[in-house]
Amino acid sequence: MTDAARCATPTAAALHALFSKVYRGRDDRVALWQEAGYRPVPGGLDASRLGEHLRLENTYALYPEDDDGGVWFALFDLDVLPRRQEWRVMREKIEGERAKTLRLMETLLDLGLRRENLLLEFPTVGFHLVLCFSEPVAVAPVRRFMQHALERAGLGGTPYYPKQSAPGAPGKPVQIPFRMNRNTGRRSNLIEDIETFDPDAYDPTPDFRPLERVIPLPPEVILAHG
């Protein structure tokens, strides 16, 4: 999907393949928003369910950890808390999360990552910084790497995913982009230039271009630090 072709209509299969380049979870269960929270339902996030998510008919999240304890992606959660506030107040605090995200990005570059390895989402209450991998990486070293990066950036205490789950448990689902945020009434989207991004004037139309450009990390980059 090139810049010029953003308004074209790719097939559902093509969108699913591009989305799954980063956001890959279990094939046997997915989380569906039902009333007051996410609940597991059988099956994975296939092209049909992604279509429902994009049309805002249903809201899905992923269980990232497979049966072997591996994950395809990880997420730093730099949100304003509490997430339900008057937009004027929220908007001011988002600038603080922008500064933290930029500091974390700089730290990750110092640890050997490249800008092309970093994917950014605006969940409308801050920023999510996403890493994806060329093959599944064990949860434990991923979490150690993420904690190390946060502490080095002076951001210890920042939430990150995947969470540690009990053996045999489905774990905590990870939200995916393009959903409607129930706290702000605004739609999350992927972004490319965090420095100039304007939360008051962004296009909420799902933008798949950052997924085209992101380069998955080889596991050894994580394992060297984790």
Q: What are the pLDDT digits (tens) for 75-102?
A: 999 999 888 889 999 999 999 999 999 9
- 200-205 average pLDDT score: 96
The string of pLDDT tens digits covering residues 209-224 is 999 999 999 999 999 9
Q: Which domains does the chain have, with CATH numbers?
A: 12-223 (3.90.920)
The string of pLDDT tens digits covering residues 20-32 is 999 999 999 999 9
Please tell me the distance from the alpha carbon of residue 2 to that of residue 39, in angstroms, as a whole number: 35
Q: For the residues of 168-214, what is the DSSP string, one character each?
A: TS----EE-SSPBPTTTS-B-EEES-TTT--TTS---S---HHHHH-
Q: How far is CA 91 from the centre of its chain?
A: 20
Rg (Cα) of the chain, in Å, rounded? 17
Q: Is pLDDT larger for residue 8 or for residue 157?
A: 157
133: number of Cβ within 10 Å: 21
Asked whether 185 and 123 are in contact (CB, 8 A), the reply is: no
The helix/strand/coil state of 133 is: strand
Please tell me the distance from the alpha carbon of residue 40 to that of residue 46, in angstroms, as a whole number: 15
| pLDDT value at 1 more than 50 | no
Please tell me the distance from the alpha carbon of residue 93 to that of residue 126, in angstroms, as a whole number: 8
- Report the predicted TM-score, pTM, of the whole model to 2 decimal places: 0.93
Please tell me the distance from the alpha carbon of residue 160 to that of residue 143, in angstroms, as a whole number: 8
Asked whether 122 and 205 are in contact (CB, 8 A), the reply is: no
The string of pLDDT tens digits covering residues 56-72 is 999 999 999 999 999 99
Burial, 75: exposed, middle or buried (Cβ in 10 Å; 0-12, 13-18, 19+)?
A: buried
How much of the chain, in percent, has pLDDT values that exceed 90? 87
| pLDDT value at 132 more than 50 | yes
How much of the chain, in percent, has pLDDT values that exceed 70? 93
Q: What is the pLDDT of residue 63?
A: 97
Q: What is the pLDDT of residue 7?
A: 47
